[in-house]
Structure 1
Amino acid sequence: MPPSPRARHARQVFLVLFAVVALAKMLVAWRLPLFVDEAFYWLEGQHLAPAYSDLPGLTAWLARLGVEVGGQSKLALRLPFLLLSMWVPWLVVRITTREFGERDGWIAGTLALVLPLAGSLGLLALPDAAMAVATLLCVDAGAKLLRRIDAASALELALGLAMGALSHYRFIAVIGVGFVALLLLADGRRALRDVRVWTAIAFGAAAWAPLVAWNFDNADAGLRFQLVDRHPWSFHVDGILFVAIQALLVTPVLFVAMILAAKRGLAENESPRRYFAWLGALVVLGFFVLGFFADTERVSFHWPLPGYLALLPLVPMIMSRWSRLGRVLLWTTSGAGLALVLGYYIAVSVPGLRAHAAAEKWYPSNFAGWRDLSAAVEEVRAGMPAGTRVVADNFKVGAELGFAMGDSAIPVLDHPLNHRHGRAPQLRLWNLETAGRTDWGDAPVLLVVGASEVRYRELLAHFHALCEKVGPLPPPRVLNIDHGRQRFMLFALEGRPAPDATCTAPAMAWVERPASGAVASGTLEVSGWAFKDGVGLQRVELLLDGRPVGEVDYGLRNTGVAAYWGISNDPRHPMVGFRGRVDLTGVEPGRHWLGLRLHGADGSVEDWSEQPLVVER
């Protein structure tokens, strides 16, 4: 039977939008700076293994495949993930068409394209694209098994379970909820009594073997990080924000439609439809409850995506009952949501826009500055002795530099960040964790430090810890990205330090007045403090938009600085305060950036991070 005119129109809309979204994603993926997790997955791909400390093996294997086929580029790295993401809407089309008809199938596929969490899959080389495909394979197979058990459906289930097992620990939630959803249905319980289904389940379970073996060989380090170390497992009220955040990310009208779809699906008589509703609702509600007890420091807004994908086939049924205005609102808000997400990634790719956001909370530090850093490293290393080794102080710097320089063997110092992200065990397995000068001997080393990766109140202690590992720190080459919001320091270390040498560290400073974002005109009063452990500071200059605008009176008494920092050994304490003025006459009205240039007694010159200042007439 030929498709109806409405089905043909829905198909045309889907195909046009699929082409537009695919092209847009390719362009964004080509321009978007490398995210730090992508860089680490590239590094894992360069050290192929069945499983890793933070993930099963599939993400690293796909990353390796991308660069092997397409060369050492961001787009090549992301290409396998982009291709997987393009499979997602087609799977939604297939599932929905079988259960609800062709027109609803194309509509659900179009919803998968504009759903921001699904439509933006594949832009980054992350495990979510493969996990989404695995989820839909399991959903499709489960729905078919509820109607009729056959070898093809069991095989699809096995493939989905295995792919999910190789994608992420988080896929355990999909498996658990899927099993519960089947148990809640009479047809599901019938399916679970069939040997073919259990054969598929056994095949999927076997895919967890590499990850189980890795944890067995490494004292459950990966499992402990995912289930224990990264989560506080104590109640916190932040979980209440889950609904608001998810409504924004799914887009409000579509979010309401999914809630109604789940409610309607649970009232249906047909098992597959109730299966979609149970699976989607339990996944989303499960992560909602988990949000009150789990990790809030790292990104987790994408965790419920498998639940939304399971609910998508039910949404066209709800939309068909809505007025034209309701449907227009759904499509408009969903399309706008996807455009905003893609627009965010485009903004991240534009240095000027990213720099403008340097003072904002949403500043994308994990995307920023890596190209400039690799260029600076090459420049500094060129002036050092032949054979100089590059060493990073944390896994982010090491992985990003590794990708940029094509070097998968950059050593990394032990760093709290490595442990906080579960990467320390893997670095040790690769023999890439270095203790410092005791490992290097007299060899020249270029140490690259990500200063902005450490909380400011912990930064001085971090510098002193570096002194213990490598000796007094020489004058650094300071690289301030986006007004210093992303800040790197390059230390050229040559030879062993004296065993009793005093710790010399980079300068520390704080502008107490004016406050960040202050509005000023005429003459601006500036005050604060600055010090440099080991040698002290000689003078402090004021900068406006990177240009010197005069010196401050440095050496004012401030007893609170030494008392706060405690371990500081600057010989000038407590005379580390400063005060000065900036004449803003003739400065163009608008936003400017106020900074400091710190001159050390050892000849070092370090530009401090800048803060925004609004100049008025």
Structure 2
Amino acid sequence: MSPAAQPDRTLAWALAGIALVTLYRLALLPFNAADLFTDDAQYWLWGQELAWGYYSKPPLIGWILRLSTAIGGDGMTAIRAPLPLIHAATALVVLAAGRAIFGPRAGAIAGLAYVTAPAVAVASLLVSTDTPMLFCFALALLSHWKLTRAPSVGWAAMMGFAIGLGTLAKYAMLYFVLSALLAALLSRRARISARDVGVALAVGFALVAPNLWWNYSNSFSAVTHVVEHNAGLENAARYDFGRVLEMLAAQFAVSGPVIFGAYLAGLALIRRDFRVGYLAIFSLPVLAVVLVVALRSEANANWAAAAHVAAFLVAGFVLRARPRWTAAGLGINLALTLALPVATVFATSLRIGDDLLLKRYVGRAEVSRHIAEVARTEGLDTIVSGDRSTLADAFYTLRDSGLAIYAEPVEGFPPHHYAQRHPLPPGPGEVLFVTTSATGPDCREEGARAVEAARWRARGYSTRELFAWRVPRSCFFPAE
């Protein structure tokens, strides 16, 4: 084969790999036996209540699920179907960025590494705001690289579109803006023209402006949620370097051990290769922020997801001349990619010892159906709970039951979306209150009494005993 034909062959193999992995994921979705996870069910509900923002996140994931369920119905397959498709699109953008920055072989490895990454394998089964954000981050990075090579109104508009849409997916997209500013400060070769900056800012702001207004109109609930529930820095008592090491180790599980190891090895080339230094600016600041958070409080591995777009590109560059390490890295990732969808097919029976392997993802719908049975037996048509997980599945599983579902009303800042948007209104009569408390609700009205209606242990996700109480609605409201 002539040298000129080699790049096309590399591209063909990469495209075929991305397509086959995606088709495999889609083919097994209808057989997935796992229930919707708490976040999945919550994002589905957001899609039923279209808005420019929600309690803790921007709106794009809700919009995506609204579109997918409008096409395919409210079944779990339709809810999950957009996930592998979006990841396939992201892999294509990563492939294109790798080809533009490092050449055909590096781009092919980067695209295949992305689509088979362990975190992507998981996120192709669970709804996550990271999924659309990563697509936008990759598109913005490709656009920015093109603009550093030559001015272009088209690429500037594309970058602004990616930044704006990515911010509507997850506010972590703003890491890209920070990195682009750092790149401009640190290297003349990483700067783009003032005109292109203006075009990108105009397009991006036009997309984000409605969400900013929504946040203003809703007391910046998303910001308050992040400060009070995610960062936790103000409540941290001490530094914990063990958490930092755990967070760093978790990044190997996000993109794959060989792939992330190749990225770290590639960082040694920062001074010698401008391209590696450029990509480091779009990854290291994200990692640094998340590691600092981990030093002071609990942090999730996916909080550093934005850093991995550039990491895949650097890994592709490092591995391009190392076929054995490439085969090992992609092979490890592919093994997990193939195994996870199969595991979900047997979610209700696959065990390790006495425990279900995927116990966190089964039993939720069963609990909701049992709650509905108890309510009907008691002659009640209203279900109330203060537990976000219980409410999330009840809203989804019991959507056609005719039962009214509400969150326990609270004073002060609401602890979750349901308390913010679906609190129990005052009124007459009784409700069925579901909780893990053996003593029932703490009634605010003197004289209101709760009567236990049922107690049971859930299968799978919950190890605690659940209680259903027959409670006067006035229990939740202080007497005037």
- What is the deviation of 1:45? 1.7
Separation in 1, partners of 2:252, 2:313: 19
Q: Determine whether 1:423 maps to 2:423.
A: no
Task: Look up the match of 1:197.
Answer: 197
SS of corresponding position for 2:232: coil
In structure 2, relative to structure 1, the CA distance for the partners of 1:495 and 1:275 (3 Å cut) is: closer
Task: Look up the match of 2:450.
Answer: 472
Q: Determine whether 1:219 maps to 2:183.
A: no
Separation in 2, partners of 1:492, 1:82: 43
Q: Determine whether 1:61 maps to 2:34.
A: no
Separation in 2, partners of 1:411, 1:468: 19
Q: After superposition, give the CA deviation of every residue in 1:411-454 in whole Å (9 maximum; x if it has no partner).
A: 111479x95xx525x633x3x2127xxx2412x433333x2xxx
- What is the deviation of 1:127? 0.9
Separation in 2, partners of 1:409, 1:2: 68
In structure 2, relative to structure 1, the CA distance for the partners of 1:338 and 1:289 (3 Å cut) is: farther
Task: Look up the match of 2:434.
Answer: 448
Aligned 8 A contact 1:92 1:136 in 2: yes
In structure 2, relative to structure 1, the CA distance for the partners of 1:257 and 1:398 (3 Å cut) is: same
Separation in 2, partners of 1:243, 1:483: 28
Task: Look up the match of 1:375.
Answer: 369
1:385-424 equivalent positions in 2, closer than 5 A: 385=379, 388-406=381-399, 410-414=405-409, 419=414, 422-424=415-417
- What is the deviation of 1:12? 4.5
SS of corresponding position for 1:292: helix
1:529-568 equivalent positions in 2, closer than 5 A: none
- What is the deviation of 1:77? 1.5
In structure 2, relative to structure 1, the CA distance for the partners of 1:496 and 1:194 (3 Å cut) is: closer
- What is the deviation of 1:39? 0.9
Q: After superposition, give the CA deviation of every residue in 1:295-332 in whole Å (9 maximum; x if it has no partner).
A: 44xxx21122221111322323312343x543333233
Gap runs ≥5 in structure 2? 476-480
Separation in 1, partners of 2:298, 2:216: 24
1:153-552 equivalent positions in 2, closer than 5 A: 153-189=155-191, 191=192, 193-233=193-233, 234=236, 235-237=239-241, 238-269=243-274, 272-296=275-299, 300-322=300-322, 324-339=323-338, 342=341, 345=344, 349-351=347-349, 353=351, 356-357=354-355, 364-365=359-360, 367-385=361-379, 388-406=381-399, 410-414=405-409, 419=414, 422-424=415-417, 427-428=419-420, 430=421, 432-434=422-424, 439-442=426-429, 444-449=430-435, 451=436, 459=437, 463-465=440-442, 471-482=449-460, 485=463, 487-493=465-471
1:124-143 equivalent positions in 2, closer than 5 A: 124-143=126-145
Aligned 8 A contact 2:408 2:424 in 1: yes
Separation in 2, partners of 1:258, 1:471: 61
SS of corresponding position for 1:154: helix
- What is the deviation of 1:229? 4.1
Aligned 8 A contact 1:251 1:337 in 2: no
Aligned 8 A contact 1:95 1:140 in 2: yes
Separation in 1, partners of 2:297, 2:406: 32
Aligned 8 A contact 2:53 2:211 in 1: yes
Aligned 8 A contact 1:354 1:363 in 2: no
Separation in 2, partners of 1:247, 1:468: 53
Separation in 1, partners of 2:409, 2:66: 26
Aligned 8 A contact 1:82 1:122 in 2: yes
Q: After superposition, give the CA deviation of every residue in 1:192-212 in whole Å (9 maximum; x if it has no partner).
A: x42232221232134332333
In structure 2, relative to structure 1, the CA distance for the partners of 1:164 and 1:445 (3 Å cut) is: same
Separation in 1, partners of 2:472, 2:416: 29
In structure 2, relative to structure 1, the CA distance for the partners of 1:62 and 1:487 (3 Å cut) is: farther
1:99-118 equivalent positions in 2, closer than 5 A: 99-118=101-120
- What is the deviation of 1:55? 0.8
1:287 corresponds to which letter in structure 2?
V
Task: Look up the match of 2:88.
Answer: 86
1:184 corresponds to which letter in structure 2?
L
In structure 2, relative to structure 1, the CA distance for the partners of 1:2 and 1:195 (3 Å cut) is: farther
2:326 corresponds to which letter in structure 1?
R
Separation in 1, partners of 2:210, 2:343: 37
Identify the structure with bigger relative contact order (alpha carbons < 8 Å, sequence gap 6+). 2
Separation in 2, partners of 1:122, 1:224: 29
1:582-593 equivalent positions in 2, closer than 5 A: none
Separation in 2, partners of 1:342, 1:174: 32
- What is the deviation of 1:97? 1.7
Separation in 2, partners of 1:240, 1:468: 49
Q: After superposition, give the CA deviation of every residue in 1:46-73 in whole Å (9 maximum; x if it has no partner).
A: 2211111211111111121121111111
Give the aligned CA root-mean-square deviation in angstroms.
Answer: 3.2
SS of corresponding position for 1:162: helix
- What is the deviation of 1:378? 3.5
2:207 corresponds to which letter in structure 1?
A
2:442 corresponds to which letter in structure 1?
A
Q: After superposition, give the CA deviation of every residue in 1:474-507 in whole Å (9 maximum; x if it has no partner).
A: 241424324961543333458989xxxxxxxxxx
- What is the deviation of 1:228? 4.1
Separation in 2, partners of 1:4, 1:341: 38
Separation in 2, partners of 1:2, 1:491: 76
Q: After superposition, give the CA deviation of every residue in 1:85-120 in whole Å (9 maximum; x if it has no partner).
A: 220111111111223332332222111122212344
Aligned 8 A contact 1:131 1:171 in 2: yes
- What is the deviation of 1:213? 2.2
In structure 2, relative to structure 1, the CA distance for the partners of 1:195 and 1:327 (3 Å cut) is: closer
SS of corresponding position for 1:476: strand
Q: After superposition, give the CA deviation of every residue in 1:514-562 in whole Å (9 maximum; x if it has no partner).
A: xxxxxxxxxxxxxxxxxxxxxxxxxxxxxxxxxxxxxxxxxxxxxxxxx
SS of corresponding position for 2:119: helix
In structure 2, relative to structure 1, the CA distance for the partners of 1:465 and 1:229 (3 Å cut) is: same
- What is the deviation of 1:468? 6.4
Number of residue pairs aligned between Structure 1 and Structure 2:
464
Aligned 8 A contact 1:112 1:119 in 2: no
2:431 corresponds to which letter in structure 1?
V
SS of corresponding position for 2:306: helix
Gap runs ≥5 in structure 1? 452-458, 498-617
TM-score by length of 2: 0.85
1:350 corresponds to which letter in structure 2?
T
Question: Counting strand residues as a fraction of each chain, which structure ranks higher?
Answer: 1
2:419 corresponds to which letter in structure 1?
L
